[in-house]
Amino acid sequence: LAKTTQPISMDSYEGQEVNITCSHNNIATNDYITWYQQFPSQGPRFIIQGYKTKVTNEVASLFIPADRKSSTLSLPRVSLSDTAVYYCLVGPSGSARQLTFGSGTQLTVLP
């Protein structure tokens, strides 16, 4: 299983764009990259998933370079309510049981 590395914490201000990068140097050919968000006292929530290039939904964008050894979660114009822990997971699609949640990145949005 691909190991991921992401920053422990990040601070940002309201209205800014936030980019959280995840490294996954040994990603396999059939692995997908999935990001989850966890608020205090709640279970994680799926944000976005991608395989290559760029994926965008109503919440975030995911940028994946050609070599796929890293990925960047982009949150546009963050608000205080975006303060949460963000997890980057790598694994084959349809094999959620193989996904490993690391410590994630604590994003704190300041007023």
Partner 1 sequence: NAGVTQTPKFRVLKTGQSMTLLCAQDMNHEYMYWYRQDPGMGLRLIHYSVGEGTTAKGEVPDGYNVSRLKKQNFLLGLESAAPSQTSVYFCASSSEASRSGNTIYFGEGSWLTVV
Considering the complex, state which of residue 7 and residue 15 has its C-beta at the smaller distance from partner 1.
7
Is 58 near partner 1 (CB under 8 A)?
no
Tokens 């040994």 locate to: 26
Q: Which of 7, 15, 76, 102 binds partner 1 (CB under 8 A)?
A: 102
Question: Smallest gap, in angstroms, from Cβ of residue 75 to partner 1?
Answer: 19
Please, what sign has the CA dihedral across residues 68, 26, 44, 19? negative
Residue closest to 80 by CA, chosen among 107, 111, 45, 38: 111
Question: Smallest gap, in angstroms, from Cβ of residue 51 to partner 1?
Answer: 10
Q: Which of 49, 61, 74, 83 binds partner 1 (CB under 8 A)?
A: 49
